[in-house]
Structure 1
Amino acid sequence: MTGSPQTTLVLGGTGRTGSLLARTLAERGLGVRTAARHGAGVRFDWDDPATHPDALNGVDRLYLVTPVLRVAYADQVAAFLDLAEAAGVRHVTYLSTYGADQAPPEVDIKAVEADLTGRTALTHCLVRPAWVMQNFTDTHLPIVDGAITVPTGGGTETFVDAADIAAVAAETLLAPEAHAGARYAPTGPQALTVGQVADTIAAVTGRPVTHHDPDSDTWIAGALAAGLIPADYAVMLRWLTGALAAGNGSTPNDDVEKVTGQPPTAFRDFARRNARAWTSQAAR
């Protein structure tokens, strides 16, 4: 990419990985433009194509985060990538999902990956992380009445820190040629049940925490009834939780250390650093 402006557009620039990624890239001397609907360097809305050209102006690499809480978005992303190519973007790092090749056909994860990998004018890297540790500190999987409620069938997952995902993505954007065509699956160092996660949180907070493992259909129906997810997103939740129950959750690998030179964060260390998030929840 010699001669390029060396500026990265970070979609989801106020999000869990995007905000960390933007800071890392800036600290290491790469130009960065964050984009989101609110609070970023430039306004970006997937449903408002008028916001897309300004976001892409003068950038040569892109951190692609697709629309959230949706399953059908491949056409929108394809149109945006067409625009990105025309604007001079030459590398895309896509924040995908662990096991994306096993996603249900109703979910456009595989379609976006196929579109991206088929574009000859762009180099690309796919980042397919495991479940993010921050799910337990925000509204995704909160502790309510002393319990984390999510169906897993007792399966395990190698929960990964968003900071480790951002660190991997940063390397791919700082040196696109070195990571062109790569597929990384950032994981934590241990496969844990949610019950073990609950035990760890209990240990660092000094408060009892358990895992309530309900029937998947009942849990999804409750989320729909509460208006927490749109109706078509149920297929995504059923796939993600079903993979754990079937024993197909993520397994530890060395991708984080291989790419960044640093070992991935253990959940216990993450929990110690974030204990206040859970004690604050309990105080409310």
Structure 2
Amino acid sequence: MNVSTPSASSAPSARPSGRAATALVLAGTGRTGSRLAARLTARGLTVRTAARRGADVPFDWDDPATHRPALAGADRLYLVPPVMRVDYAGQVAAFLDLAEHEGVRHVTYLSAYGIDRAAPQVALRAVELDLAARGSLSHTVLRPAWFMQNFSETFLKPMDDVITVPTGDGAEAFVDAEDIAAVAAATLADPDAHAGAAYALTGPEALTVGRAAGIIADVTGRPVTYRDIDRDEWIRHTVAAGVPAAYGAMLRTLTETVAAGLGSRPTGDVEKVTGVPPIPFTAFARRTARAWR
């Protein structure tokens, strides 16, 4: 289980004295950010969402002029790194320098399952190590498995009732973005209780993509099936569709890991943090059935 024990005694206070708790949520219109913002608001925190468009404040990783205004007054941060990229550790480090200067005292970082075993130069892991080295920030790392929402929103969504991806008979403990948001909300609402922790977030069962396709077929009444594909061919198609070539290489690694039987396996971390068992894929599929009809 990819979990480290919180160490609140060595962590700085999440909020300077006399300062109201304000959470800045990066990617605030995204799959986890939008869900997280609603949960934090329900907990009574002041929340500011940030994204290139449609959020409370504009935020663009490639436009440093948007960074300081987004951070103003925030003492805690939900950090989502740049998407569709593989070389951003320096960019995130500069932003964290600014966040420290502006008074942020806790960061909850959206990483990925198994990244603790990656080489230090891999960007996701490099950011984890950077956070661990910062003495004036406490931090919590979230390492989720593949999102269930990939089946309804991104690269696992059925096309003509077929899910095509090179994962073979390998299984993955897909996790609902609602559970990721619930864990993130707990860590940002009470940073001291989760300082120094790393949580591997999964669903309650490991499923092959073929089994997931069968569940979608059951709840929708559509003949949804899974088709394996040559990995090189699949990568060529994804790059041709606009995915950067460097990110295509990352997708190769991710699908190879699952196909080799080394995909994520269920952990108890969602329930450990929230007190509620993780959402099963069947429940997600029933809730999401309209997306496939």
TM range (shorter): over 0.9
| Correspondent of 2:189 among 165, 169, 174 | 174
Q: Secondary structure at the match of 2:201?
A: coil
Counterparts of 1:170-249 in structure 2, within 5 Å, are 170-227=185-242, 229-249=243-263
Shift of residue 77 of structure 1?
A: 0.2
Matched, 1:140 2:155: yes
Runs of 4+ residues deviating >4 angstroms:
none
| Amino acid corresponding to residue 194 of structure 1 in structure 2 | V
Matched, 1:253 2:267: yes
Q: Taking CA–CA contacts closer than 8 Å with sequence separation of 6 or more, which of the two structures ends up with the larger relative contact order? A: 2
Counterparts of 1:153-164 in structure 2, within 5 Å, are 153-164=168-179
| Correspondent of 1:24 among 13, 33, 39 | 39
Report the RMSD for the aligned CA atoms in angstroms: 1.1
TM-score normalised to the size of structure 2? 0.93
Residues of 2 paired with 1:185 and 1:123: CA distance?
18
Unaligned runs of 5+ in 1: 280-284
Change (3 A) 1:105 1:211: farther
Give a deviation string over 1:118-174, Cα, whole Å, max 9, x none.
Answer: 101100000000000000111322211221011112100011100000000000000
Give a deviation string over 1:234-282, Cα, whole Å, max 9, x none.
Answer: 2210111111012111100110111001110000011011100000xxx
The answer for the alignment partner of 1:277 in structure 2 is 291
Residues of 2 paired with 1:3 and 1:150: CA distance?
52
Give a deviation string over 1:168-219, Cα, whole Å, max 9, x none.
Answer: 0000000000000000011000100000000000000011011111121211
> How many positions carry a matched residue from both structures?
278
The answer to whether the Cα contact below 8 Å between 1:106 and 1:235 also exists between their aligned partners in 2 is no
The answer to whether the Cα contact below 8 Å between 1:72 and 1:106 also exists between their aligned partners in 2 is no
The answer for the alignment partner of 1:282 in structure 2 is none
Residues of 2 paired with 1:169 and 1:186: CA distance?
11
TM-score normalised to the size of structure 1? 0.96
Shift of residue 102 of structure 1?
A: 3.4
Residues of 2 paired with 1:105 and 1:208: CA distance?
44
